[in-house]
Chains A and B, each alone.
Chain A
Amino acid sequence: MPEMRLTPKLIAESARLAGLNLSLERAAELLPVLEDLLAGDAKIAGLGLGNLPAVGPTWAEAEGE
Chain B
Amino acid sequence: MSDLGLLTRSIAEIGRLFRSGQLSPVELTALTLRRIETLNPVLNAFITVTQDKALEAARRAEAELRSGKDRGPLHGIPIALKDLIDTAGVRTTCASRILKDHVPQRDAPMVRILEAAGAVVVGKTNLLEFAYGIVHPDYGQTNNPWDTGRTSGGSSGGSAAAVGAGLCFAAVGTDTGGSIRIPASYCGVAGLKPTYGTVSLEGVFPLSWSLDHAGPIARTSEDARLLLEAMTGKSLASSASLQGLRLGVIQRGGSEVQAEVTQVFDAACHALEGAGAEIQEVKIPDLALADTALLNVLLPEASAVHQGWISRRPEDYAPFTRFQIELGFALPAVAHVRAQQFRRHLTRQFLKVLETVDLLISPSVAWVAPPEDPVVAGDEGSAEGRRSAPHNLTGLPALSINAGFGALGLPVGLQIVGKPHQDGFVLAVGGALEALLPAAQKLAPIALT
Docked pose: A38 CA to B307 CA in angstroms? 22
Is the Cβ of B347 less than 8 Å from the Cβ of A58?
yes
Residues of A within 8 A of B341 (CB): 44, 49, 52-54
Closest to B307 in A: A19
Query: Which one of B327, B330, B340, B347 has the highest number of Cβ atoms from chain A below 10 Å of its Cβ?
Result: B330
Docked pose: A55 CA to B210 CA in angstroms? 9
Residues of A within 8 A of B99 (CB): none
Docked pose: A62 CA to B420 CA in angstroms? 11
Is the Cβ of B307 less than 8 Å from the Cβ of A44?
no
Does B310 belong to the interface (CB within 8 Å)? yes
Return B356 CB to nearest CB of chain A, in Å.
15
Within 8 A of A (CB), among B348-407: 348, 351, 377-378, 393-396
Interface size on A, residues (CB 8 A): 36
**Contact digits for A1-41, partner B, Cβ 8 Å, 1 yes 0 no:** 00000000001001100111110001101100110111111
Is the Cβ of A37 less than 8 Å from the Cβ of B331?
yes
Docked pose: A58 CA to B339 CA in angstroms? 12
Residues of A within 8 A of B323 (CB): 29-30
Q: Of B57-65, B271-279, B292-300, B423-431, which stretch is located at the interface?
A: B292-300
Residues of A within 8 A of B69 (CB): none
Is the Cβ of A58 less than 8 Å from the Cβ of B330?
no
Given contact pairs A20-B307, A52-B341, A54-B340, A59 touches B335 in the complex (Cβ within 8 A)? no
Residues of A within 8 A of B225 (CB): none
Chain A interface main SS type: helix
Closest to A36 in B: B292
Does B311 belong to the interface (CB within 8 Å)? yes
Given contact pairs A29-B323, A37-B295, A58 touches B343 in the complex (Cβ within 8 A)? yes
Does B52 belong to the interface (CB within 8 Å)? no
Residues of B within 8 A of A41 (CB): 292, 296, 332, 335, 338-339
Is the Cβ of A43 less than 8 Å from the Cβ of B289?
yes
Does B139 belong to the interface (CB within 8 Å)? no
Is the Cβ of B342 less than 8 Å from the Cβ of A26?
no
Docked pose: A25 CA to B393 CA in angstroms? 33
Is the Cβ of B344 less than 8 Å from the Cβ of A27?
no
Is the Cβ of B347 less than 8 Å from the Cβ of A47?
no
Given contact pairs A44-B339, A57-B197, A33 touches B292 in the complex (Cβ within 8 A)? no
Is the Cβ of A18 less than 8 Å from the Cβ of B345?
no
Return B109 CB to nearest CB of chain A, in Å.
21
Residues of B within 8 A of A36 (CB): 292
Is the Cβ of B345 less than 8 Å from the Cβ of A47?
yes
Is the Cβ of B395 less than 8 Å from the Cβ of A21?
no
Q: Which among A19, A30, A33, A45 is the interface contact of B338 at CB below 8 angstroms?
A: A45
Is the Cβ of B329 less than 8 Å from the Cβ of A18?
yes
Residues of B within 8 A of A49 (CB): 338, 341-342, 344-345
Is the Cβ of B394 less than 8 Å from the Cβ of A58?
yes
Docked pose: A59 CA to B350 CA in angstroms? 10
Closest to B349 in A: A62
Query: Which one of A15, A27, A40, A65 has the highest number of Cβ atoms from chain B below 10 Å of its Cβ?
Result: A40
Residues of B within 8 A of A53 (CB): 341, 344
Within 8 A of A (CB), among B113-139: none
Docked pose: A19 CA to B338 CA in angstroms? 21
Docked pose: A44 CA to B329 CA in angstroms? 20
Return 6 A-B CB contacts under 8 Å, by A number.
A39-B292, A40-B292, A57-B196, A58-B344, A61-B344, A63-B420
Knowing that A37-B295, A53-B341 touch, tell me 8 more A-B residue pairs with CB under 8 angstroms: A14-B329, A14-B330, A26-B326, A49-B342, A58-B346, A58-B394, A59-B395, A63-B351
